[in-house]
Amino acid sequence: MGFFFTLHLWRITVLILICAGMAGAASAVVITESPSHVMRGDPITIDIAGLSDNSEFSLLLKATLEVTPGQDFLFETTNFVMPISLSKGQISATTTGAQQATFSAKKGGTEVSVTRSADANGVFSFSQAQDIPAGTFDFISLQGTPLPDKTMIVSSIQLRGKKTGPDTSHITFTVNGIDNGMVQLTVFVDGTQALSQTVTIGEGITSVRTTVAPKSDTGITANVTTTTTPAPTTTVSNKTFFSADRNVSLTAQGTEYAGLVWANATGVPGDWIRVGDAYRIAPDSLSFSPAATIIFRLPEQVIGNSSYFVASYTSSKWVIVPGTAQNNTTISADISKAGTFALMTYKPESSMPVSGTERPAGTIMTRDASANASGAQETLPTPAATKTPISIMPVFGALAIGIGIVFRKTK
């Protein structure tokens, strides 16, 4: 009797453990977006389920929009409802193809605006480490003046940090300023892509609209709008995509969209040092043929001799990617697919890679403190000390000195 009772109890225990395992699997993070096609001003919803606190959460909104030469452009998200908080994070914005641009945000009664001229490549960028509180932003926007020869602008806004708040929530917003274009939504959770969705706005970006004025039988001229699709072309151009902090770029052929987003870097070998942030190329499905080129800017401050190399996180470990030094300011590497990449160096007491890895020829760039690191590169401002602000707007207030932020208090 006791034997059968023990056996029965054991079976019940096994069933409980199996059910618990199934419940655990069902609680994985699920992030979806809807709808996939909207008109200007229509709402977009990102549904989040199973997102636990302290998860590293990253949301990238990248808009491609048609512009008219000589007319300003606008990519604006309005009524941006953020039900979760992101601590120890960062807010970033980038626009390519511009003469100058303005990043602005309004939450409650406070509005902030950051205006800068674009660099020689037509790239405007803004990035600041900060907490991002839950709540509703009236708007978050990028606007500016395109270069005279541009008919297309790419603007991106990224929010990231450690999540706090409900495990199940809904981020909602509307897109203004775009009649025809697309918005790529990418979400990473703890370094893993959880969402990659393209939302078409209006007629998208593949149509060329022309207006003709035929005469009717009555002799009255009527304006008629027709839509035509450009003929296929055999010319495939290179496009360059930048991270928001401008420390990394990716040049690829035949790629319409690629994001360079901050990534959580773990498992760095004991005798390596990660230099700056790690970056993940989004979406994960991207592959490059011919190979794309990823370029890292080297740090301007060098103490003693330093050897730099590009590393990729592959099969749960970091491996060296053969690279080439350029003008003592950057190091580049050719890659065939998306992934996580970082700039690395060796610890002073170590001159060789960890056991089991080899140092490929042409990978390591050694630079000493006397080298002129600024060369042909733009000088970036020294990042401010990281603090824990009460909300996003006081943090912007701390930036007002020296970078041209304008505050306007609304009534």
Report d(CA 97, CA 179) in Å as an integer: 18
pLDDT in tens, 266-290: 889 988 999 988 999 988 889 999 9
Report d(CA 96, CA 123) in Å as an integer: 4
Categorize the per-residue pLDDT at 140 as very low, low, confident or very high, splitting at 50, 70 and 90.
very high
Strands 192-201 and 37-38: parallel
Q: What is the pLDDT of residue 159?
A: 93
Q: Which residue from 95, 164, 113, 158 is spatially nearest to 393, judged by alpha carbons?
A: 113
Q: What is the pLDDT of residue 329?
A: 86
Report d(CA 209, CA 294) in Å as an integer: 36
Over residues 253-268, the mean pLDDT reads 85
Residue 343: pLDDT over 50? yes
Q: What is the pLDDT of residue 198?
A: 92
Q: What is the pLDDT of residue 338?
A: 93
Q: Which two tokens stand for residue 9?
A: 């109890």
Categorize the per-residue pLDDT at 187 as very low, low, confident or very high, splitting at 50, 70 and 90.
very high
Give residue limits of the domains in the chain: 31-208, 238-363
pLDDT in tens, 63-87: 998 888 888 999 999 999 999 999 9
Residue holding tokens 């025809």? Answer: 180
Residue holding tokens 């000195």? Answer: 401
pLDDT in tens, 211-229: 334 444 444 333 443 344 4
- Confirm if 112 and 393 have CB atoms less than 8 A apart: yes
Which architecture characterizes domain 238-363 according to CATH? Sandwich (2.60)
Rounded to two decimals, the pTM is 0.66
Residue 383: pLDDT over 60? no
**Cβ neighbours, 10 Å, residue 243:** 23
Q: What is the pLDDT of residue 227?
A: 41
Over residues 289-312, the mean pLDDT reads 82
Over residues 13-35, the mean pLDDT reads 58
Residue 407: pLDDT over 50? no
Q: What is the pLDDT of residue 365?
A: 52
Over residues 155-181, the mean pLDDT reads 93
Report d(CA 255, CA 372) in Å as an integer: 34
- Confirm if 46 and 197 have CB atoms less than 8 A apart: no
Report d(CA 380, CA 374) in Å as an integer: 10
Q: What is the pLDDT of residue 347?
A: 84
Q: What is the pLDDT of residue 112?
A: 84
Categorize the per-residue pLDDT at 325 as very low, low, confident or very high, splitting at 50, 70 and 90.
confident
Q: Which residue from 125, 135, 134 is spatially nearest to 158, judged by alpha carbons?
A: 125
Residue 396: pLDDT over 90? no
Over residues 9-21, the mean pLDDT reads 45
Least confident of 13-22, 158-167, 199-208, 335-344: 13-22
pLDDT in tens, 355-372: 434 444 444 554 443 333
Residue 381 or 266, more confident: 266
Q: Which residue from 286, 290, 236 is spatially nearest to 260, judged by alpha carbons?
A: 286
CA distance from start to end of the chain = 80
To the nearest whole number, what is the mean pLDDT of the chain? Answer: 76
DSSP assigned state of 50: S
Report d(CA 388, CA 162) in Å as an integer: 13
